[in-house]
Amino acid sequence: MLYTALDRNQGPIITVIASNEEEAREKVRTQLDRDHRRQWYLREWEEAGEPVIPRRRLERRP
């Protein structure tokens, strides 16, 4: 299933594929922690309480 990490304003940060919310949080942390330029997003996500929401499918773009 797809999970999207949200910032404190409920804006999307990154989407990962995971089998549950715990695995999604681990993958989000790994993705945001591996590149120094993404540290701001990691901090925003942590300050928001590490929210992830399930997404059933990708939206089609026009």
In this prediction, residues 42-60 reach a mean pLDDT of 85
Residue ranges of alpha helices (H) inside the chain are 21-33, 39-47
Compute φ and ψ for 12, nearest 5 degrees.
-70, 140
Chain centre to alpha carbon of residue 49:
12
Q: Are 15 and 24 in contact (CB under 8 A)?
A: no
Question: What does pTM read for this prediction?
Answer: 0.81
Q: Where are the domains of the chain?
A: 2-55
In 3-state terms the chain splits into helix, strand, coil percentages (rounded to 5) of: 40, 25, 35
Q: What does the pLDDT look like over 34-43, one tens digit per residue?
A: 877 788 899 9
